[in-house]
Amino acid sequence: MEIIIQTTPEAASKVAARIVARVLREKPEAVLGLPTGNTPLPLYRELIRLHRAGQADFRRVTTFNLDEYVGLAPEHPRSFYHFMWENFFRHLNIKRGKVHLPDGLAKDIPAHCDRYEKEIRAMGGIDLQILGIGADGHIAFNEPTSSLASRTRIKTLTPETRRDHAREFGGLNRVPHHAITMGIGTILEARECLLLAFGGRKARAIAGAVEGPVSSMNPASALQLHPVVRVCVDRAAAKGLKRAAYYRWVYENKPGWQVE
């Protein structure tokens, strides 16, 4: 794991955007795995800026989002489909047909999840999986005790996760109980992973993910099993890391030949 600690979310997101831009330069037809939430917003803003500056071309890019609420139509203002188009896709030259999100209204959810996995495989797999993390360590909607081998499936959200989203839904009783989410096994098959976390509320989850034991109680800790993971955090999210000084030194003294 490479742990990149920056002072602010904006600075960490600029590093993350450079990583995405590097992947797109190396492979213009790259397949990106994408998260929703507050965390990726400064990254998406920076990628839109790079795109406008001619430094990030999405014309041949394919995307697969991590998750979607069960029961929400794409046009629902709180659906992840809506979030992605509003905050990211509509500002890019991405092709609508190359964008994939789980369908929150799928009639046969197991069959839909199976098809989602097949679509990822048919595109040659995910080149770069971008991830946020929940305060409880969840990645995508893989809540604590999710199987570390899990595939795309329906998950029941924890009370904590539902509470975290209550404000945006205008009340806890409006927050869905279920989501379709890529599994941890699905995420671990991506060629590279990029985990973002900002703010003190994420510090414990990040410490567990990076330095704790691999455990389904902190699903993000499964990333320790992946060969290419970069973790971009701000100072507040890094404050539980015991070896922060070492990670800082490693990043600042990176040999020139090593890719970002």
Catalytic residue ranges: 67, 136, 138, 143
CA 189 to chain centre: 14
Provide the token pair at 27. 């492979």
Is residue 13 close enough to count as binding ligand PGA by CB under 6 A? no
Q: Choose which of 25, 26, 28, 38 interacts with ligand PGA (CB under 6 A).
A: 38
Segment near ligand PGA (CB under 6 A); pick from 33-41, 92-100, 235-243, 244-252: 33-41
Confirm or reject binding of residue 218 to ligand PGA (CB under 6 A). Answer: no
Strands 178-181 and 153-156: antiparallel
Check residue 102 for interaction with ligand PGA (CB under 6 A).
no
Closest separation between CB of residue 133 and ligand PGA, Å?
6
Which parts of 106-165 interact with ligand PGA (CB under 6 A)?
132-134, 138
Query: Between vectors from CA 74 to CA 71 and to CA 75, what angle results, nearest 5°?
Result: 110
Q: Kind and range of the H or E element at 77?
A: none
Q: Where are the beta strands (DSSP E) in the chain?
A: 2-6, 31-34, 62-65, 67-69, 99-100, 128-131, 153-156, 178-181, 192-197, 229-234
Question: Which residue, 4 or 157, is less far from ligand PGA as judged by CB?
Answer: 157
Which of 99, 179 has the CB closer to ligand PGA?
179
Side chain identity, residue 171: G
Residue numbers at the binding site for ligand PGA (CB under 6 A)? 37-39, 132-134, 138
